[in-house]
Amino acid sequence: MEKGFDRRSFVAGGAAAGFLALAGGALAACTTDSPSKSEGNPTDTAQTAVDKASPIAAVAAPSQWDKEADIVVVGAGGGGLTAATRARQEGLSIIVVEKLNIVGGNTQSATMFSVPGNTPDQDAREFAVPSYPFEPEKWADFMINAHQQSGNPEMLKLIGSNVPELFTWVSDSWGIDNWTLAPAGSYYTVAPLGMDEIIGKAYEVGQQLGAEFMLGTSAKALVKDGDRVVGLQVTDETGKELYLHGTKGVLLCGGGFASNKDLLAEYCPSALTRAAACFLSSSDQGEPLRMALGAGAEVVHKDSFAIFDGGMDWEEFGGEWCHYLYDGATQLVRQPWLLIDASGNRMRYIPTNKAGSLTDQAAIETATPGNRSYIIFDSKWDEYALPFEQKACRTLIKDGVDRQPYVPEYYQDYHAGVQDAIDMGVIRKFDTIEELAESLDMDSTVLAAAVDKWNATCATGEDDFMYPLDPSWLHPVSTPPYYGAKIGGNLFLTATGVAINTKMQVLDTKSKPIPGLYAGWYTAAGAFAPSTMVSMRYSPCGVTRSFLGGYLAVGTIAAEEM
């Protein structure tokens, strides 16, 4: 798929399966990838099963292996890339299997590397979470309180203790020297142009050190010899079946399953209820989870996931569950318009200059009857939208915007995607409030009363709501035609996964390590167990934990499997 992919395919959603997003995955920021990056993805042989949720049974060891290394890794995202470099630094041979024809996975779409404290820039500002100086134990306790006492103290201490070290290791090992610290009040350390440069350097260094990357290769099943996982059965880019021997371990770094509705129904049903769409790609289908289940692994933290705000149900109008995030229409409905529930009650809007705004806004918009909210505006939307100046993945793409080069050509002017949504009916457009209400399945008197109350507020120039909007954002809904959309969440991360211990060893249903099997986040879970939506407010999530999983797992293998 090229950047100039035709409009029909975008509208129908047919290109969505090739898009790579954060995630998970997802992830600490928003996808900005071009669909051209996924060109030539191989057929996913693991999805030829009767359903996409059943465990994939492990297979017996072959009489002869096709390839051999100390470690075999599934997934060349953040975890696979750190694993490749650290393994070679530790003197271990490694093969990294990736079903796409490029490295990076969902990590390549990230824009942030989040660190709670203890970096030189943060120390210079005397900033750390929850307080300066940074202490992993205090951070772990803070995180447990933030997640309703549901975190694993030892796992959180592991993360807190190692993320600052990981940051230094990534900088030194991959030659990353252009980090900048986000404005005071945030603990995010950011690479100015996103993760593309970091992923490229990580891949280059891994190859230079002698790591082998098998791109366009799909993992089919784990290989066991007795109780021990000893390798991986794969189909390479030519369609040939191969057996890869991992003499010291197999590491699953293939992410979560946000794109797999069958697995979501089984393990994260609330995600299907609260999310209206998913913006992750076919790389988040959950094959590593299913393979681990086939080897006897336990699943933990069921029904844990994370969503952004402003999701729209494209499937209802002939699109697909996985829909490209930067489509223009999604950004438009995430602006501070009149936001109400089915009863016409105003709802809070959290600007993107607030920590955790995207995930916390999703919680607001889906904690309603039917788990949906309604966004209402009028024909002057184009005049009002740009001055809202929302950041991150609420940014409206137009000429001169920093993220424009990373967005497919068709969507580089947000108006194109907005028109598609209107044509499809995802965003409704009517000449009267009554017609708009009917199309949204709302009571017309309720919507009319909410609009009248909003217009009266706008006329005063001051918002008397408990969470008032900036006065410059108070625009009446008074000039037809009128527009509206039913919005839910944008799913970007599953926090459900296989059980692991602090050595990143996968645990069976009796909480015993499965010999030879390791997993990185987000194939694994184990730190947070909110059994609800995961907030990004305080967590070093997404790309940070993705990198950390591979780094820690190889550390264990180097220390114990040698």
Residue 205: how many other CB atoms lie within 10 Å: 18
In a domain, 229, yes or no: yes
CATH code for the domain of 504: 3.50.50.60
Same domain, 225 and 243: yes
Region 29-46: what's the mean pLDDT?
37
**Nearest-angstrom CA–CA distance, 514 and 501:** 11
In tens, the pLDDT along 266-288 reads: 999 999 999 999 987 667 899 99
Q: Which domain holds residue 516?
A: 83-257+495-561
**Nearest-angstrom CA–CA distance, 5 and 27:** 26
Same domain, 168 and 210: yes
Same domain, 499 and 478: no
In tens, the pLDDT along 362-393 reads: 999 999 999 999 999 999 999 999 999 998 88
In a domain, 22, yes or no: no
What pLDDT is recorded for position 46?
A: 40
In a domain, 303, yes or no: no
Same domain, 126 and 241: yes
Same domain, 336 and 382: yes
In tens, the pLDDT along 43-101 reads: 344 444 457 899 999 999 999 999 999 999 999 999 999 999 999 999 999 999 999 99
**Nearest-angstrom CA–CA distance, 259 and 420:** 23
Same domain, 543 and 411: no
What 60-65 contacts at long range (C-beta under 8 Å, 24+ apart), as own/partner pairs, is: 60/223, 60/224, 60/225, 61/223, 61/224, 61/225, 61/230, 61/231, 61/243, 62/223, 62/243, 64/243, 65/231, 65/243, 65/244, 65/245
What pLDDT is recorded for position 186?
A: 57
* Structural domain count, the chain: 2
Tell me which residue has tokens 């350097």.
Answer: 201
Same domain, 161 and 246: yes
Domain boundary among 475, 491, 507: 491
What pLDDT is recorded for position 56?
A: 97
Q: What percent of the chain has pLDDT over 90?
A: 67
Same domain, 145 and 243: yes
In a domain, 242, yes or no: yes
In a domain, 74, yes or no: no
* 165 — pLDDT class (breaks 50, 70, 90): very high
Same domain, 518 and 372: no
| pTM score over 0.85 | yes
Same domain, 487 and 503: no
What pLDDT is recorded for position 48?
A: 44
CATH code for the domain of 473: 3.90.700.10
* 20 — pLDDT class (breaks 50, 70, 90): very low
Asked whether 60 and 354 are in contact (CB, 8 A), the reply is no
Domain boundary among 491, 519, 538: 491
In a domain, 333, yes or no: yes
Same domain, 454 and 507: no
Average pLDDT over the chain reads 87
In tens, the pLDDT along 188-226 reads: 555 555 678 889 999 999 999 999 999 999 999 999 999
Same domain, 487 and 522: no
Q: What percent of the chain has pLDDT over 70?
A: 85
Domain boundary among 429, 456, 491: 491
Across 102-111, 425-434, 437-446, least confident range: 102-111
Q: Rounded to the nearest 5 degrees, what angle is found at the Cα of 189, between the Cα atoms of 184 and 193?
A: 115
Asked whether 215 and 98 are in contact (CB, 8 A), the reply is yes
